[in-house]
């Protein structure tokens, strides 16, 4: 990196802040914005940054984080259900695209062995671009998104042997290492990831969460992903694949939402940096020197791969009218091409000149993806009169969110559970979560006062949120968030006391229950019964008391009060109690139980 770290960071951030919103404004998508930013500040643009390769290497971590997040969305069960599309569809894609591209390269004058290596290398697509684009277009849960993801996942797996095998193709590759030892190491690393993800991470996460220091939880989440990525690269496996595996193993964990919300910003920034780096690596000198060759290579790559993808799309359950969308999403070359081509050149399998040309073509094909999608959209809207078949969206969001699963929320949750009503539970007490998880509750760790967590819990689709947290301030923050962002969400709130009740009411919450009120009435009834009152009589007394008390309370909270200071609040509480006692006394004896006589 040139200059100080801070200056570099400023350059990247400034370029992104300028280019990405502009690109989004013109409907080009964020990926193209980042790529343009990279071109602008790179060695061929303004020349702010020179050492592109190390930036690219660093930014690959964005892809790793992205795969971790994708893994978090998929639990083992879903992954197992995907195995047919991953191994069947994925291998078909790589074989067909690889063969076509290799034939094309051979026809362009490359020898057979390098043509096959390079063909396979550029047959792989860019996970970063494809997934980011699908996420922006909300396609990840649609069949086309699932199909594309299966292909990308297979490529991640296939890249490992490909990278390992390329040096063996080189003549006289004596120091390629013992494949058995490498294989054993790789297997050991995967087992280590499974053990870490499955058995070690949860207790540690619980411990870290208990410390109640938010940033430590974030730090641990990053450490986890970094550590697994490093372990993978040590034994020569794909870092992204390791992170993906770790994500899958944590997908069923109660910390899923918290991990997601903590990692997502880092992923976003690093992925942006990755796209910037790709933009910077586009060699405009080469383009200027051999424009026709590069144009031919890029177009050939996109065309051959696109046609092959459209052909295999039905095998991956992609609807016929979406096969070209599928092709446009995956036609570009990807990150792995950079790696495989680099390895091939240093092993002297691929001539240096071809490597430079192909890398430039891959970078150009990545930059072309947003335009391909725009072209696809345009073609789509031209023939818009076709019958539209809705994509099947996975939707497993519960109709109720319970924020706070303590003494109050738990009883609410159990009541709903007993009735068969699904609820998503948010709580920040790890002990509580662990216990409940054992009994099959769907519980997530996190602070419900965060908008992103509420969103992740499905607040946009839920019907009711139960605000049952202990802390009155947090309760009010959740209410504010819910009212501001999810107008369709009904709020049922637990009130700590009259002050809290007043604050909730002033925010327009209509369903409020004072947490101790009903229990106290019940205790009062028990006392009356012990003193000889008939149970039904005691109930009527409590019913009457409840009715009057509620009316009194409503009347009092309707009067504005100065609740600026704690003293004023305490004072108000005392006055309210006094007022209520006065009303109770005035009413005493006047209430006769009426009905048909004795």
Q: Is 597 in the site for other proteins (CB under 8 A)?
A: yes
- Identify the sign of the CA torsion 322, 328, 333, 334: negative
Q: Which of 440, 536, 565, 589 binds other proteins (CB under 8 A)?
A: 536
Minimum distance from residue 535 beta carbon to other proteins (Å): 4
Q: Which of 537, 552, 571, 580 binds other proteins (CB under 8 A)?
A: 537
Q: Is 526 in the site for other proteins (CB under 8 A)?
A: no
Question: Side-chain half-sphere of 181: how many Cα atoms within 13 Å?
Answer: 3
Rg (CA), the chain: 31
Q: Is 531 in the site for other proteins (CB under 8 A)?
A: no
Please, which residue, 212 or 544, has the CB nearer to other proteins? 544
Alpha-carbon gap, residue 464 to 543, rounded angstroms = 27
Query: Which one of the spans 35-43, 200-208, 260-268, 535-543 is the region binding other proteins (CB under 8 A)?
Result: 535-543
Q: Which residues contact 39 (CB under 8 A, 6 or more apart)?
A: 45, 279, 280, 282, 284
Query: Which one of the spans 29-37, 89-97, 505-513, 531-539 is the region binding other proteins (CB under 8 A)?
Result: 531-539
Which of positions 173-192 make contact with other proteins (CB under 8 A)?
none
Query: Which one of the spans 98-106, 356-364, 507-515, 527-535 is the region binding other proteins (CB under 8 A)?
Result: 527-535
Let me know: does 338 contact 173? Beta carbons within 8 Å. no
Q: Is 527 in the site for other proteins (CB under 8 A)?
A: no
Alpha-carbon gap, residue 556 to 491, rounded angstroms = 22
Minimum distance from residue 128 beta carbon to other proteins (Å): 60
Alpha-carbon gap, residue 58 to 62, rounded angstroms = 8
Minimum distance from residue 539 beta carbon to other proteins (Å): 4
Per DSSP, 465 falls in state: E
Site residue total, other proteins (CB under 8 A): 13
Q: Is 519 in the site for other proteins (CB under 8 A)?
A: no
Q: Which of 538, 553, 556, 569 binds other proteins (CB under 8 A)?
A: 538
Please, which residue, 509 or 542, has the CB nearer to other proteins? 542
Q: Is 535 in the site for other proteins (CB under 8 A)?
A: yes
Minimum distance from residue 409 beta carbon to other proteins (Å): 23
Please, which residue, 292 or 418, has the CB nearer to other proteins? 418
Give the DSSP letter string of 135-188. Answer: HHTT-TTSHHHHHHHHHHHHHHHHHHHHHHHHHHHSTT-TTS--HHHHHHHHHH
Query: Which one of the spans 38-46, 86-94, 193-201, 532-540 is the region binding other proteins (CB under 8 A)?
Result: 532-540
Please, which residue, 440 or 595, has the CB nearer to other proteins? 595
Please, which residue, 490 or 528, has the CB nearer to other proteins? 528
Alpha-carbon gap, residue 553 to 566, rounded angstroms = 20
Alpha-carbon gap, residue 182 to 430, rounded angstroms = 40
Per DSSP, 314 falls in state: G
Q: Which of 7, 213, 570, 593 binds other proteins (CB under 8 A)?
A: 593
Minimum distance from residue 498 beta carbon to other proteins (Å): 26
Query: Which one of the spans 80-88, 118-126, 530-538, 576-584 is the region binding other proteins (CB under 8 A)?
Result: 530-538
3-state helix vs strand vs coil in the chain, percent to 5: 70, 5, 25
Please, is 539 exposed, middle or buried when counting C-beta atoms within 10 Å of its C-beta (0-12, 13-18, 19+)?
middle
Minimum distance from residue 587 beta carbon to other proteins (Å): 21
Query: Which one of the spans 239-247, 266-274, 313-321, 534-542 is the region binding other proteins (CB under 8 A)?
Result: 534-542
Alpha-carbon gap, residue 309 to 332, rounded angstroms = 11
Minimum distance from residue 418 beta carbon to other proteins (Å): 15
Query: Which one of the spans 105-113, 359-367, 404-412, 589-597 is the region binding other proteins (CB under 8 A)?
Result: 589-597
CA distances from 299 to 333, 345, 361 (A): 12, 23, 9
Q: Which residues pair with 425 in a beta bridge?
A: 402, 443
Q: Is 595 in the site for other proteins (CB under 8 A)?
A: yes
Query: Which one of the spans 361-369, 503-511, 563-571, 588-596 is the region binding other proteins (CB under 8 A)?
Result: 588-596
CA distances from 284 to 43, 45, 129, 289, 360 (A): 9, 9, 21, 8, 9
Please, is 565 exposed, middle or buried when counting C-beta atoms within 10 Å of its C-beta (0-12, 13-18, 19+)?
exposed
DSSP SS3 for 388? coil
Q: Is 411 in the site for other proteins (CB under 8 A)?
A: no
Query: Which one of the spans 198-206, 211-219, 476-484, 529-537 is the region binding other proteins (CB under 8 A)?
Result: 529-537
Alpha-carbon gap, residue 73 to 252, rounded angstroms = 9
Please, which residue, 172 or 597, has the CB nearer to other proteins? 597
Please, which residue, 180 or 536, has the CB nearer to other proteins? 536
Please, which residue, 568 or 593, has the CB nearer to other proteins? 593
Q: Is 415 in the site for other proteins (CB under 8 A)?
A: no
Question: Side-chain half-sphere of 576: how many Cα atoms within 13 Å?
Answer: 25
Q: Is 534 in the site for other proteins (CB under 8 A)?
A: yes
Which of positions 539-578 make contact with other proteins (CB under 8 A)?
539
Question: Side-chain half-sphere of 101: how many Cα atoms within 13 Å?
Answer: 35
Alpha-carbon gap, residue 231 to 240, rounded angstroms = 11
User: What are the φ and ψ backbone dihedral angles of 403, each rounded to 5 degrees?
Assistant: -95, 110
Please, which residue, 259 or 538, has the CB nearer to other proteins? 538
Minimum distance from residue 591 beta carbon to other proteins (Å): 15
Q: Is 598 in the site for other proteins (CB under 8 A)?
A: yes
Q: Tokens 């030892």 belong to which residue?
A: 181
| Contact footprint for other proteins (CB under 8 A) | 525, 532, 534-539, 593, 595-598
């Amino acid at each position: 990196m040139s200059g100080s770290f801070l200056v570099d960071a400023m350059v990247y951030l400034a370029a992104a802040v300028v280019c990405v919103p502009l690109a989004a404004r013109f409907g080009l998508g964020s990926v193209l914005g980042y790529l343009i930013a990279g071109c602008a500040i790179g060695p061929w643009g303004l020349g702010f940054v020179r050492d592109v390769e190390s930036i690219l290497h660093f930014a690959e971590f964005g892809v790793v984080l992205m795969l971790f997040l994708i893994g978090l969305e998929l639990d083992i069960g879903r992954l197992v259900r995907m195995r047919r599309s991953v191994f069947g569809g994925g291998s078909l894609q790589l074989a067909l695209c690889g063969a076509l591209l290799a034939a094309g390269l051979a026809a362009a004058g490359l020898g057979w062995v390098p043509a096959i290596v390079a063909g396979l290398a550029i047959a792989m697509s860019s996970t970063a671009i494809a997934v980011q684009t699908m996420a922006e277009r909300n396609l990840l849960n649609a069949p086309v998104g699932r199909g594309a993801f299966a292909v990308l996942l297979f490529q991640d797996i296939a890249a490992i042997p490909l990278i390992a095998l390329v040096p063996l193709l080189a003549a006289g590759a004596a120091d390629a290492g013992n494949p058995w030892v490498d294989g054993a190491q790789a297997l050991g690393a995967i087992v280590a990831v499974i053990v870490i993800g499955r058995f070690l991470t949860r207790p540690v996460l619980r411990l870290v969460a208990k410390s109640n220091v938010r940033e430590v939880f974030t730090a641990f989440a990053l450490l986890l992903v970094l550590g697994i990525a490093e372990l993978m690269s040590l034994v020569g496996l794909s870092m992204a694949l390791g992170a993906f595996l770790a994500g899958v193993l944590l997908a069923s964990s109660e910390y899923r939402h918290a991990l997601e919300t903590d990692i997502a910003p880092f992923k976003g920034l690093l992925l942006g940096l990755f796209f910037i780096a790709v933009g910077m690596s586009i060699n405009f000198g080469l383009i200027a020197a051999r424009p026709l060759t590069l144009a031919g290579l890029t177009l050939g790559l996109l065309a051959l791969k696109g046609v092959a993808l459209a052909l295999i799309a039905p095998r991956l359950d992609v609807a016929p009218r979406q096969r070209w969308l599928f092709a446009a999403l995956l036609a570009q070359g990807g990150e792995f091409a950079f790696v495989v081509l680099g390895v091939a050149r240093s092993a002297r399998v691929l001539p240096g000149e071809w490597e430079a040309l192909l890398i430039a073509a891959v970078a150009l094909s990545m930059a072309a993806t947003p335009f391909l999608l725009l072209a696809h959209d345009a073609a789509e809207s031209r023939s818009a009169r076709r019958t539209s078949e809705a994509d099947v969206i996975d939707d497993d969001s519960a109709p109720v969110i319970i924020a706070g699963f303590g003494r109050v929320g738990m009883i609410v949750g159990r009541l709903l559970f007993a009735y068969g009503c699904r609820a998503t539970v948010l709580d920040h007490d790890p002990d509580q979560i662990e216990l409940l998880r054992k009994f099959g509750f769907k519980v997530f760790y996190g602070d419900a006062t965060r908008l992103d967590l509420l969103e992740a819990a499905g607040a946009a689709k839920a019907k009711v949120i139960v605000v049952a947290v202990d802390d009155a301030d947090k309760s009010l923050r959740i209410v504010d968030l819910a009212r501001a962002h999810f107008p369709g969400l009904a709020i049922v709130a637990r009130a700590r006391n009259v002050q809290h009740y007043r604050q909730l009411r002033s925010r327009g919450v209509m369903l409020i229950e004072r947490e101790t009120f009903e229990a106290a009435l019940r205790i009062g009834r028990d006392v009356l019964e012990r003193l000889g009152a008939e149970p039904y009589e005691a109930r009527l007394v409590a019913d009457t008391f409840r009715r009057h008390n509620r009316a009194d309370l409503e009347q009092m909270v309707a009067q504005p009060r100065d609740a600026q200071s704690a003293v004023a609040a305490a004072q108000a509480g005392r006055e309210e109690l006094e007022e209520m006692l006065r009303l109770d006394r005035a009413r005493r004896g006047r209430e006769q139980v009426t009905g048909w006589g004795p």
